[in-house]
Structure 1
Amino acid sequence: MDTLILHHYPASPFAEKIRRVLAFKQLAYRSVIIPDVMPKPDVLALTGGYRRTPILQIGADIYCDTALICQVLEQRSAEPALYPPHLLGVSRIVAQWADSTLFWAAMAYNLQPRGAAALFAQQPPEAAKAFAADRGAMSAGMQRLRPQDATAAYRSYLRRIAHMVEEHDFLFGDQPCVADFAAYHPLWFTRVCVPTMADIFEPVPAVLEWMDRIAALGPARMEKFKAEDAITVAANAEPAPLLDDVFQDEHGIPLGSQVTVAAESFGQEPTQGTLLAATRTRYTLRREDPRAGEVHVHFPRIGYVLRKAEQ
């Protein structure tokens, strides 16, 4: 029941981040391919509402957001390290920048009309419409960069990454850390998923060489797995005992309360459950599902909003 199960789809940039981490750590996993747009009934059976990609399942424990998934994989296999001691703070800070500021600039550049046409060139027109509607719903209320502004920002960020990898094989030295994988995945989307947009890399060949080094890590051992089998795994397992971490109460909401947790911005669909833990770094909710049984759903604290559930 401690097998790693990754729920993802091939063109998901954040899933590629975790696939590269799994390769780096040489961790075997089971691969469940999920839809790239709603409905996602098998995903929601596990998460109860959260629908961003990927999610990591270990038995009846469900881990949301790649920032938390990276921490879980580091606990599973400490070497090679994602968070080397001398980079403990800066690697996380750069990873957070890459997963947010860099990501949104890259995707606004990638999915302007020329890129979107390339991405959906082999699919029927309704696929592009469904994707646009789905992501529009997920980003409701967000301030999005215009393509012109995104292009200028992306070029600047690529030059800054180039300055770092011209000096080292990876961002901070001769070994990759979590910041490398976070910075890699939106660039991977440009290069692999919308190659017609990849001319933006021409002034920064060092970035492509760095990307090649990351792509050469692994691959991890992967076994194809069905979504219904993953749900059966959860139903037949018990959530792992919680670590004896200190309860950090910032909301005046006691443990055992009915709460919701939702992302601050993109993909704000809430997950409701019983608050089991609110530590310095994460929230854990217990919830019941008719198919998956009792599961514990885990979220990172940064980037997520905890609220008392409405009665």
Structure 2
Amino acid sequence: MSQATTPECLSLVLHHYEGSPFSEKIRLILGYKGLDWYSVHIPEIMPKPDVVALTGGYRKTPVLQVGADVYCDTRRIVDLLEQRRPAPSLFPAGEAGTASMLSQWADTTLFWAAIPYTLQPAGIAYALKGLSPEAMKAFAVDRASFTAGMLRPSLGDLAAQLKSYLNWLEAHLAGSGDFMAGGQPSVADFSVAQSIWFILRVPPVAGVLDGHPKLLAWYERVAAFGHGRMQPLGSGAAVALALSSGGRYAETAVAPGQGLEAGTQVTVTPTDYGRDPVPGMLVGLDDSEVVLAREDARAGRVHVHFPRIGFALKPVA
């Protein structure tokens, strides 16, 4: 497929790779909302020079770009997509709190049981088949540094945890309706779906889902939303888009009572893994979001958006 022409500054540009669970979460949401988007495929491991040009060092996947605004972490991306297209909503009336809490559990607790369990020796050999021994070694080194400091449960512990969580989900669906928060899809469905999708991609371990018919039927309903309407875009074109869009940014402000003033030099760092601090000048801050302005030789001035949940904000001494 040929590369798409450069999108307009307000187009949605998703930076992702095929095997990324959190990318699948966002791809399915784009399908659910029927959105058009541009697809930039990025490397699975460092170096990622075009990603770093846009984010300043944040290297988790995915990242969503709108002109010179760059949105990091799926929590913040979800809020943007909800704002861009409110209906159908990811937060159904009367179930928004339940959906948000279940989504947070799925993005953390369920994810960190499902993905390491799937990448056990039998699974990773299948998931990475086709890679050279050198490439597999590079992948292992990259992921080791990416998750440095995290406690790694044994395979037996992971299996026990994951089976418990799958049983919970099966029981929950018996009483919740067609979707996780009731009769309508919500953000919770897409957060849970990313882990089920990842397990199903690796047949040697997918048998862990046997005996969960309601969960598998639910997953088919969610997967049926598809990925929306996508056009491919080169990563260099995405960086050029940021440069050409400079000066047209999403409206931001530093809210009173946050303890910091606009213009303060700060860093934002994930608190779980991939703890690479991103430096910049504070231009937006409230209880849900922090926004940094930063300069790059290729991308120009970009505004990088992070959620408050899962990130540490610190002024530079």
**Same fold by TM (over 0.5)?**
yes
- The alpha carbon displacement at 1:235 in A equals 0.2
Question: After the TM superposition, which of the residue ranges 39-48 and 82-91 deviates more from structure 2?
Answer: 82-91
The aligned counterpart of 2:15 is 7
Contact 2:10 2:67 in 1 (8 A): yes
Deviating 4+ runs (over 6 angstroms): none
Measured in 1, the distance between the counterparts of 2:41 and 2:210 equals: 33
- The alpha carbon displacement at 1:243 in A equals 4.1
Report the secondary structure of 2:131's partner residue: coil
Q: 1:257 to 1:201 in 2, by over 3 A?
A: same
Equivalent runs, 1:44-63 vs 2, <5 Å = 44-63=52-71
The reply on whether 1:206 has 2:214 as its aligned counterpart is yes
Measured in 2, the distance between the counterparts of 1:125 and 1:207 equals: 36
Question: After the TM superposition, which of the residue ranges 136-145 and 37-46 deviates more from structure 2?
Answer: 136-145
Listed one character per residue, the Cα deviations across residues 95-124 of structure 1 (whole Å, up to 9, x for unaligned) are 111100100011121111111111112221
RMSD between aligned alpha carbons?
Answer: 1.2
Report the secondary structure of 2:40's partner residue: strand
> Aligned pair count?
307
Measured in 2, the distance between the counterparts of 1:77 and 1:268 equals: 32
Q: Which amino acid aligns with 2:26?
A: I
Identity of aligned residues (%): 45
Q: Which amino acid aligns with 1:272?
A: P
Report the secondary structure of 1:86's partner residue: coil
Measured in 2, the distance between the counterparts of 1:159 and 1:75 equals: 34
The reply on whether 1:260 has 2:267 as its aligned counterpart is yes
The reply on whether 1:143 has 2:151 as its aligned counterpart is yes
Measured in 1, the distance between the counterparts of 2:86 and 2:57 equals: 31
Measured in 2, the distance between the counterparts of 1:219 and 1:38 equals: 26
The aligned counterpart of 1:232 is 240
Listed one character per residue, the Cα deviations across residues 29-61 of structure 1 (whole Å, up to 9, x for unaligned) are 000000000000000000001000000000000
Contact 2:117 2:155 in 1 (8 A): yes
The aligned counterpart of 2:100 is 92
The reply on whether 1:296 has 2:300 as its aligned counterpart is no
The aligned counterpart of 2:51 is 43
Report the secondary structure of 1:116's partner residue: helix
Q: 1:207 to 1:241 in 2, by over 3 A?
A: closer
If the length of structure 2 is used for normalisation, what is the TM-score?
A: 0.94
The aligned counterpart of 2:41 is 33
The reply on whether 1:305 has 2:312 as its aligned counterpart is yes
The reply on whether 1:189 has 2:215 as its aligned counterpart is no
Contact 2:22 2:74 in 1 (8 A): yes
Report the secondary structure of 1:126's partner residue: helix
The aligned counterpart of 1:131 is 139
Equivalent runs, 1:66-145 vs 2, <5 Å = 66-145=74-153
Gaps of 5+ in 2: 1-8
Q: Which amino acid aligns with 1:187?
A: I
Contact 1:120 1:127 in 2 (8 A): no
Measured in 2, the distance between the counterparts of 1:113 and 1:218 equals: 30
Contact 1:16 1:185 in 2 (8 A): yes
Q: Which amino acid aligns with 1:178?
A: V
The reply on whether 1:283 has 2:290 as its aligned counterpart is yes
- The alpha carbon displacement at 1:127 in A equals 2.0
Question: After the TM superposition, which of the residue ranges 31-40 and 207-216 deviates more from structure 2?
Answer: 207-216
Gaps of 5+ in 1: none
Listed one character per residue, the Cα deviations across residues 134-170 of structure 1 (whole Å, up to 9, x for unaligned) are 1110111111222111111101111111112233211
The reply on whether 1:16 has 2:27 as its aligned counterpart is no
Q: Which amino acid aligns with 2:296?
A: D
Measured in 2, the distance between the counterparts of 1:187 and 1:219 equals: 16
